Structure 1
Amino acid sequence: MRIPFFIACFIPLFGWAQIGGQLSFQSLNLTSNPRAAALGGTSISLADGDISQFFENPAILDSVGEKNIFVQINPYFADVFVYSGAYAFNIGSIGTFAAGLNYVNYGAFEMTDETGNHLGTFPAQDYTFQLGKAHSVGPFTLGANVKLSHSSIESYGATALLLDIGGIFRVNKNWTVAMVFENMGTQISGYTNFSSSQVPFDVKIGTTFKPEYMPIRFTITTTNLVNENAISLDDSGGRSSRDLDKVWKRVNLGAEVLLSDHFQLLVGYSHKRKQELRLNEIGGGAGFSFGMMVKVKRIELRFSRATYHAAGGSSFISLRTDINDFKKIL
C-alpha cells in the first residue's frame, strides 16, 4: 500500500496549475487506439487484458500479460498521421510495466521569407513517451503513467513532464467503475524563452457493464469534469444551450456487440463532437463512430471509423498480439 499512498499524496502538486490559461500539447487529446475511437473517443473502464487501453487508464495494466504488443496507424486529416505503439514487459519481482509511444507527424510545410520567396520546407511533429505500472489490492487497482511529451515546429520545440493517475474498481466480473486524473504536470521548456502555456489536464469518470444474459457490453465515460471552458456555447448557429445539453457534452457512449471471441462490432457517440462540428443544416454523422474486431488465431485486428464532420472522418487500424503466442504461430 505504500506506493499507491505515496502517489496519491502528490496528486495536488501535479494538478495545481492546470485550470485556465493558454493550452498547448493538444495532441495529448487525440485518441490512441481504435477501440476507444469506436466507443465515442475515450474509454477508461475496460480492463480485459487489452494493452492499448493503458493509453486511456494505466490501472488496466493489472490485466495485461507480459510481452503483449500493440501498434496502430491513424491517417488523421490532410497529411497528418498518428502512430501509436505499446509493449508490456516484466522486471523481476517488481512486476509488469508497459511502455508506449504516440507520434503525430503533421507533414512538411513550405518555408518562405518575408517577401514570399521559397526557402525550402520544415517539419512539425509531436511525440509522447509513457511508462506505466499498476498495483492491485483486492477489487481495487491503482495505476500511474509517467509521460514525457515533446512538440517541435521547424527549429522550435516545447517539452512537458506529465503524470496520469487512474483507478479501477471491479464491482463484479461484468461491471467496472474507473476514474482518471489525466495530464497532471507542467511545461518544462517552451518554444521560446518567453512562451508559457498549460497542458490539457482532465478528470474522467467511466463505467463498463455487461448484462448477464446479453451479448453486449456498454461503456459510459464522462470527460472535462474540472474545466468549465471545455464546453463552449455557439449562439450563432442556434444550437442548444440548455443545461441538459451541457451535461451531455461531457458524456461519451459506447457499446460492444460480442458476437464471438473472434468477432465483435462496436458503436459509439460523442454529443460534444456532434454539437461542435455539425453543420447548421445537417449533422453529417458528426459524433458517431463504429468499429470491428477480428481475431485470427492469436492476432487481434481492429478497424474503427470516427466521423468528425460532414466532410469526412478519421480511420484507425491496429494489430495486437502476444509475442510468445506469435512465436507459436510461426
Structure 2
Amino acid sequence: MIRQLRGHAIASLIFVGSLLASRVSHAQIGGQQAFSFLNLPNSAKLAGLGGANVSSRDGDATMLYGNPALLNQEMDGTLALGYVDYLADIKQTTAAYVFNTEHAGRFGVGLTYLNYGNFEEFDAAGNSLGSFSVNEYAVGVSDAYTSGNFVLAGTLKLGVSGIAGNHSVAALADMGALFKHPTKDFNVGLTVKNVGYQLKTYTGAEHEPMPLDVQLGASIKPEHMPIRFSLTAHHLQQFDIVYLDPNQRGQLDENNNEVKPKKTIGDKIARHFVVGGEVILSKNFNLRVGYNHLHRRELRLDTRSAGAGMSFGVMLRISQFQLDYTRAYYHASGASNYFTVARNLNSLFKKN
C-alpha cells in the first residue's frame, strides 16, 4: 500500500508539473531564466547523445540527470564521477551514486559544480580592485518506483549560484516517467525538469523564472542490429523557441534590398528535436553520436557551422571500470570534452 501511494504521489507531481509547463510565457528561452546551467548536459553519455535524452536505459548512473525514471537495477551501487572542459576556464564536475532500498525504492544522489574561473574587477575609473570568482552548483536526490513496465520517479534539487560573494538560491524538482517494453529494447520517457522557485535573489532583485524544460523521447534497438536510436523532443511547453538577432544583416535581393531572415514552421519544429545513436559493438565497447538542431542553429557562424550541434563519444569498460568520453561541438572557437569514470562499489566491498 505504501509503495502504491508513493507511485500515485509521483504521478500527481508529474501531472502538476505538466500543468505548470503549459502556463509559462512564450518568451524566448535564451537569457530569460536563472540557473540555466541546470540544462547543460553534465555527463559524457548525455552529451554524446546530443545533450538531451530521457529514454536510453542502461547501467550508466549519470543518466539520472536526463530522467530520474531511468534509474534501474543495473545502476545499483554504482558511483560515477564526471569532468567537463568547456571553453576558456569554464570547468564542470559531477558525481552520481545509485543505491536500492528494500522498502523506500531506488535512490540516486547527484551533485554538479560549474566554475567559470576568475575575473578581474575594476572601478569606474578603471583601477583594478582584485579578482572575483563565479560558480554554480546543484545537489539532488532522486527516488524511482517500478510497477510492471512503468517507472515513476522524482528528484528534489537545491541550486546555488554565486558571483563575487553574492549568492542566489533556488529549490527545484524534476518529475519523470518511463515505459519499457516487456520483450523488446524499446523505451519511451517523459520528464518535466526544473520546476521550482528562486528562494533568494541577487541583492534583492526580482525573482526570476526557472529553466523549465518538458522533454519526451523514445529509444529503440531493432532486433539483430547493434544500433540503438534515440529521438528526444525538448522545451515542449513552448512552441516557438527560435531567436533571430535583430542586428543581424540580411542578404540582398535582386533589387539590392536587404531581406531579413524570417521564422519558418519547419525551423520552429526542428529546433525541438535531438537525435542520438549508439553503436553497441559489445558490452564493453560502444560508440555514440548525437545531433542537436537548436545548438546548430544558435551557435553556428554566419558563414559556416564548424560542426556546431554535433557530438561524438565512446564507452569502454576495462576490468571493473567504465570509461566514457565525448567531444561535443558547440562553436567554431572549439569543442568541449566530457569525461566520466564509473565503478560498482558493491562488487568492491564484496571482494574485500
The TM tier, using the shorter chain, reads over 0.9
Match of 1:195 among 189, 201, 206: 206
2:231 aligned residue:
220
What secondary structure is seen at the aligned counterpart in 2 of 1:93? coil
Instruction: Encode CA deviations 1:30-50: one digit per residue, 9 max, x unaligned.
Output: 111111101111111012222
Kindly indicate whether residue 164 of structure 2 is the aligned counterpart of residue 142 of structure 1. Answer: no
Unaligned regions of 5+ residues in structure 2, if any? 252-260
Q: Is residue 80 of structure 2 the alignment partner of residue 70 of structure 1?
A: yes
Alignment partner of 1:157 out of 167, 178, 182? 167
Provide the residue aligned with 2:24 in structure 1.
19
TM-score by length of 1: 0.94
Aligned counterpart, 1:173: 184
Residue by residue over 1:10-29, the C-alpha shift from the partner in whole angstroms, topping out at 9 and shown as x without a partner, is 45666638723741101111
Cα separation, partners in 2 of 1:257 and 1:228, compared to 1, 3 Å: same
Whether the 8 Å CA contact 1:64–1:88 is kept in 2: the answer is no
Maintained 8 Å contact 1:299/1:326: no
- Between 45-54 and 2-11, report the one with greater CA deviation: 2-11
What corresponds to 1:246 in structure 2?
268
Deviation at 1:67, TM superposition (A): 1.8
- TM-score scaled to structure 2, two decimals? 0.88
Q: How does 1:165-314 map to 2 (within 5 A)?
A: 165-171=175-181, 172-228=183-239, 230-234=241-245, 236=248, 241-314=263-336
* 2:70 is aligned with 1:60: yes
Q: Structure 2 counterpart of 1:4, which letter?
A: G
SS in 2 for 1:178: strand
1:62 shift after superposition:
2.9
Farther off after superposition, 89-98 or 291-300: 89-98
- Structure (1 or 2) with the larger CA radius of gyration: 2
8 Å CA contact 1:49–1:60 kept in 2: the answer is no
- Select 1:114's aligned residue among 119, 124, 132: 124
1:87 aligns with 2:97: yes
Which deviations, in whole Å up to 9, do the C-alpha atoms of 1:189-246 show, x marking residues without a partner? 1012233100100100000000101110001110011124532235745667321221
Shift of residue 102, structure 1, vs aligned partner: 0.6
| Comparing 1-10 and 259-268, the one that deviates more | 1-10
Distance of 1:92 and 1:4 partners within structure 2: 15
Secondary structure of the equivalent of 2:211? coil
Instruction: Supply the distance in 1 between the matched residues of 2:301 and 2:85 (Cα, whole angstroms).
Output: 23
List per-residue Cα deviations over 1:131-159 (Å, max 9, x = no partner): 00100111010010100001010121111
What RMSD in Å do the two structures reach over aligned CA positions?
Answer: 2.1
Query: CA–CA distance in 2 between the matches of 1:242 and 1:113?
Result: 45
Structure 2 residue 325 is matched with structure 1 residue 322: no
One-letter amino acid of the structure 1 residue matched with residue 148 of structure 2: G
SS at match of 2:62: helix
Percent identity at matched positions? 35
Distance (Å, rounded) in 2 between the aligned partners of 1:43 and 1:271: 14
Structure 1 range deviating more: 226-235 or 201-210: 226-235
1:329 deviation in Å? 7.7
Distance 2:221 2:333 in 1: 35
Counterpart CA distance in 1 for 2:135 and 2:38 is 12
User: Any stretches of 5+ residues in structure 1 without a counterpart?
Assistant: none
Which stretch of the first structure deviates more once superposed, 217-226 or 89-98? 89-98
1:6 corresponds in structure 2 to 9
CA contact (8 A) 1:177 1:208 kept: yes
Q: Number of matched residues? A: 330
Q: How has the CA–CA distance of structure 1 residues 272 and 313 changed in structure 2, closer, same or farther, with 3 Å as cutoff?
A: same
Secondary structure of the residue aligned to 1:143 is strand
**Amino acid of the residue matched to residue 244 of structure 2?**
L
